[in-house]
Structures are given as structure tokens and as C-alpha cells.
Amino acid sequence: MQRPQDIGSCIVQVNDFTRVWKADQQVKLADLKAGDVLLYNRTAELPGKPSCCTDLWIGEETHKLVTEKQRKPAVAKK
């Protein structure tokens, strides 16, 4: 078997407000490990203000969980 080629990499800026998720738990940035597969969300880049990562999801299972959660219709509260 051949490993697929990396499709890219980038450096994302984080701050004290960046949330990191593994499964359905919020974890610390220090819990990241080399080789982790990440999904991230970041703010828009504006003149004089670089984009910043708002959320990081660690691992393919976490990616599946968050995708399923976002696809479920929202339930209106009365």
C-alpha cells in the first residue's frame, strides 16, 4: 500500500480563546501530538489583523462526531 501524498500544511495562529476538542471533550492545546489529524476553524484575515484559529478538532473520529452533530437539525427551545 502507498500512503497518499499530503495535500498541504499551514501554520495557524492560536490564542487564549482557541478551543481544542477530542471526541466530545474540550482538551488543552498541550494535548496535541505530532501526527494528529486536525480540522480547524479560523477567523477571516483582515488588513493588519491576521486570522486566528477559533476551534481545533483532533482526530478523524472527532471530525466524524462534529460533522454528524452539525448535520442534525437544530431543535427550537420554547
d(CA 27, CA 52): 18
So where are the chain's domains? 19-71
Whether pTM > 0.85 for this model: the answer is: no
Q: For residue 76, what pLDDT is reported?
A: 63
Strands (E), the chain: 19-22, 25-27, 38-42, 53-58
Instruction: Report yes or no: 57 and 21 within 8 Å, Cβ to Cβ.
Output: yes
In the chain (78 residues long), the average pLDDT of successive 10-residue segments reads 70 91 92 88 88 91 85 72
d(CA 22, CA 57): 6
Q: For residue 1, what pLDDT is reported?
A: 65
Cα–Cα–Cα angle for 71, 73, 78, nearest 5°?
150
Provide the grid cell at 53: 484559529
Q: For residue 69, what pLDDT is reported?
A: 82
